[in-house]
């Protein structure tokens, strides 16, 4: 158990307004904001430098996707706990984040005070997830869609989301720090696994399951 007062926190989000709001909320409630980052690459470097107790992480960030950030941060010699704070679909991503090594998950549709509650729980030695995140994957998509989405690897799920948001191959490669050829390979796998033949079908499936 770590003391809540003056525990250090790193905020990772590519939206300055959200970083500012979180920083104000956490500081007002006795937490030390040790640093902020707006992308995955800088986030990992910052965590290595300041060694915070908790990282508040949006998984939809540039220059290295949040799921990869979770895995890399958790592989550090003395890893901090990670509280995911994101607008990505809870029913799809909460269980994935838990499996990747996060300690909690809060959707941005919730009141921001849920972030405080999550940090308190984590510092007290507990995890902070939606009640069904760890016990079932039935909510990960709807009906047959759920089976298709569960068949995607973590990286394929990220590529799926990026395609559905209209990102080009170059934008995806820049986001994930991989080559265009690798992006094309992932896209082919995503199309095959989801059973879609064009972008319109992929976007419809994404909307139907709150991926975007």
Q: Round to whole Å and give the CA distance between 182 and 179.
A: 5
Joined together, the tokens standing for residue 6 give: 């003056």
Q: What is the mean pLDDT of residues 160-182?
A: 93
Domain boundary among 89, 123, 157: 123
Alpha helices in 101-168 (DSSP H): 113-123, 143-150, 154-164
CATH for 192: 1.10.10.10
Q: What pLDDT band is residue 137 in, cutting at 50, 70 and 90?
A: very low
Domain boundary among 90, 123, 156: 123
User: What's this model's pTM, rounded to 2 decimal places?
Assistant: 0.83
- Looking at the fold, whether 23 and 116 belong to one and the same domain comes out as yes
Q: What is the mean pLDDT of residues 129-151?
A: 69
Is 161 a member of any domain? yes
Is 99 a member of any domain? yes
Domain count, the chain: 2
Residue 35 φ/ψ, nearest 5 degrees: 170, 165
- Looking at the fold, whether 88 and 24 belong to one and the same domain comes out as yes
Domain boundary among 62, 94, 123: 123
The CA distances from residue 166 to 151, 174, 176, 190, in Å, are 22, 14, 15, 15
In tens, the pLDDT along 72-111 reads 999 999 999 999 999 988 988 999 999 999 999 999 999 9
Joined together, the tokens standing for residue 20 give: 């500012």
Give me the pLDDT at residue 80, please: 98
Enclosing domain of residue 179:
143-208
Q: What is the mean pLDDT of residues 199-204?
A: 94
């Amino acid at each position: 158990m770590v003391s809540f007062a003056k525990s250090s926190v790193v905020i990772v989000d590519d939206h300055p307004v959200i970083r500012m709001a979180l920083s104000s909320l956490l500081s007002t409630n006795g937490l030390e904001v040790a640093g902020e980052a707006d992308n995955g690459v800088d986030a990992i470097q910052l965590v290595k430098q300041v060694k915070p107790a908790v990282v508040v992480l949006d998984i939809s960030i540039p220059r290295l996707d949040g799921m990869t950030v979770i895995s890399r941060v958790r592989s550090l010699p003395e890893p901090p706990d990670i509280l995911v704070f994101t607008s990505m679909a809870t029913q799809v991503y909460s269980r994935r984040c838990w499996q990747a090594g996060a300690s909690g998950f809060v959707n941005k549709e919730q009141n921001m005070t849920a972030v405080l509650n999550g940090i308190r729980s984590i510092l007290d030695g507990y995890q902070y997830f939606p009640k069904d995140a760890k016990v079932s994957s039935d909510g990960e998509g709807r009906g047959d869609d759920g089976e298709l989405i569960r068949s995607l690897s973590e990286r394929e799920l990220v590529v799926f989301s990026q395609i559905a948001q209209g990102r080009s191959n170059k934008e995806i490669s820049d986001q994930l720090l991989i080559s265009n050829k690798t992006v094309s390979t992932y896209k082919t796998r995503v199309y095959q696994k989801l059973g879609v033949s064009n972008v319109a079908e992929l976007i419809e499936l994404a909307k139907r399951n709150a991926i975007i």
